[in-house]
Structure 1
């Protein structure tokens, strides 16, 4: 087989632009050269990769398959270049970890702090994403590891359990939910909410379920920190949905009531996931081993 990284980058660019002309521009190639490279790829694999039409090009099934492989290959090359660059700068390694809101706020800080103390030559880049986005990024090779809700992961990803995450309703000691032990999320319709800032993974997760029930949440304030949210609830400004671990911690210091949500989506199994734990670079494997011990 005769093809190179330029061919794969061109394939990705053309697929994303739905145009060989635009793809060639993105790949910094002349149109004639780009067309020849696409034809060369098709001849190499013996399949048609694109359907040509008046409005541009569309990937065939074979093209979709090659696109998935191309993205993984390019991502791995970029990771390799990044790792070698850190060696050149005097650092040893870098691990990419994507985590949902709950993992980032409640579960990972202590475990990561211990890992970084033990391994001063390894850096960990942690980025917050929604669990479905984490699954896609890990599956495509754009991230080494993910900390996500298991229900969002495809069967192709390897994983191990880290803990349980239960979302609960937090309310003031006085109000419509005073004395309640359990509620359905639908019962919160029309209530004032204290929510997370826009774009946070948990905010997106809750918003999706509100939309499915036709609930339009009236959000009085948006905050990034669970403790600050619970302080607002304690002051009687509104109700909130937060992780149980954060709610119980805050309840020891604040006059708030904790009410279980009966909805199935409120209980989630949290896992560490990867495309293949065995195939991870050594620094990522060290982090996986550390997180396994922390989970147990």
Structure 2
């Protein structure tokens, strides 16, 4: 038994775990091989060897691609822990050597981008010049998956779904607002609700974004629909849509702070309870021991970003 366990641990080395995780993420041997820049035959052989060593299949091969088995799910969780612990160890050893270089990967919704750059990284990079960053934009669903799958260290999303794979370092109430041009009839309406926006041309973010999930749910619960004139993955397109006088959109106040300051738009909070209680979340993977650089940046963003004040 001890010999078998030893053999298994030798099989599940960090390099092969990364290859396995790439196949899981992309959903195919070929895609995983391209991501890792190795031949598909190498990836296929590595996975077959691991399956023989543990005596269980890691994947079900289906027409939709590679689907994890129960054993595969267990190996995936083990893989995440090994990769994260390796990264943590590398940073700790680097500190002992006096080498403090570290890369922190951030995923966020586009509406948070200016906030992160101006109030977060703008000051943090001066305090910690040894840290480098990867900053990528994604939908709320994409942010959650990136953190849970170990593709990012810190995520910022608007009103994400509850996900036990993650924990929040900071949560702040950020009501969803109607964004209009100055002088629009909605500006002066008392107790403005989402239903009051029916029939007015609007622009919405595409599916997978927290804002759209909220708006769609409230509309469905109230028995109406909001058919967008423009659907986009870009918050900047929503801002420009409103400023151009094409109609209205829906964003939290912090996402249009610059436009508000120069008087280009007006915002009104919506009275629907789900929209009024929406929130911004700063997240990391649950049950992960955070590297010092990630912990420091997470705490700094929580204390300084406008979205969390």
* TM-score in same-fold range (> 0.5): yes
Query: Are 2:159 and 2:211, in contact at CA under 8 Å, matched by a contact in 1?
Result: no
Secondary structure at the counterpart of residue 262 of structure 1: coil
Match of 1:87 in 2: none
Residue from 224, 243, 267 that aligns with 2:236: 224
Secondary structure at the counterpart of residue 127 of structure 1: strand
What is the Cα deviation at residue 15 of structure 1? 5.4
Match of 1:134 in 2: 143
Cα 1:217–1:280 shift into 2, 3 Å: same
Describe the superposition over 1:163-184 as per-residue Cα deviations: whole angstroms up to 9, x where unpaired: 3322211334545425213333
Query: Counterparts of 2:31 and 2:264 in 1: how far apart (Å)?
Result: 59
Cα 1:288–1:96 shift into 2, 3 Å: same
Describe the superposition over 1:231-261 as per-residue Cα deviations: whole angstroms up to 9, x where unpaired: 43xxx44222232245576456437553322
Q: Point out the structure with the larger strand share.
A: 1
Deviates most, 261-270 or 118-127? 261-270
Query: Counterparts of 1:100 and 1:145 in 2: how far apart (Å)?
Result: 12
Residue from 168, 181, 199 that aligns with 1:190: 199
What is the Cα deviation at residue 140 of structure 1? 1.3
Query: Are 1:194 and 1:238, in contact at CA under 8 Å, matched by a contact in 2?
Result: yes
Cα 1:23–1:110 shift into 2, 3 Å: closer
Query: Quick check: 1:270 aligned with 2:280?
Result: yes
Please give the TM-score of this superposition, normalised by the length of structure 2: 0.69
Query: Counterparts of 1:237 and 1:52 in 2: how far apart (Å)?
Result: 48
Query: Quick check: 1:289 aligned with 2:299?
Result: yes
Secondary structure at the counterpart of residue 134 of structure 2: strand
What is the Cα deviation at residue 273 of structure 1? 1.3
Total equivalences in the alignment = 285
Match of 2:54 in 1: 45
Query: Quick check: 1:143 aligned with 2:143?
Result: no
Query: Quick check: 1:181 aligned with 2:193?
Result: no
Query: Are 1:210 and 1:216, in contact at CA under 8 Å, matched by a contact in 2?
Result: no
Match of 2:118 in 1: 109
Task: Give ranges in structure 2 of 5+ residues lacking alignment.
Answer: 1-7, 94-98
What is the Cα deviation at residue 137 of structure 1? 0.9
Secondary structure at the counterpart of residue 224 of structure 1: helix
The equivalences for 1:229-240 within 5 A come to: 231-232=243-244, 236-240=245-249
Please give the TM-score of this superposition, normalised by the length of structure 1: 0.71
Cα 1:291–1:13 shift into 2, 3 Å: closer
The equivalences for 1:46-195 within 5 A come to: 46-51=55-60, 58-70=67-79, 73=82, 92-106=101-115, 109-149=118-158, 151-193=160-202
Query: Counterparts of 1:128 and 1:39 in 2: how far apart (Å)?
Result: 35
Query: Counterparts of 1:102 and 1:278 in 2: how far apart (Å)?
Result: 27
Q: Where do 4+ consecutive residues of structure 1 move more than 6 Å?
A: 16-20, 52-57, 75-84, 220-223
Instruction: Let me know the Cα RMSD of the aligned residues.
Output: 4.5
Residue from 254, 263, 270 that aligns with 1:261: 270
Task: Give ranges in structure 1 of 5+ residues lacking alignment.
Answer: 85-89
Cα 1:78–1:204 shift into 2, 3 Å: farther
Cα 1:237–1:77 shift into 2, 3 Å: same
Secondary structure at the counterpart of residue 181 of structure 1: coil
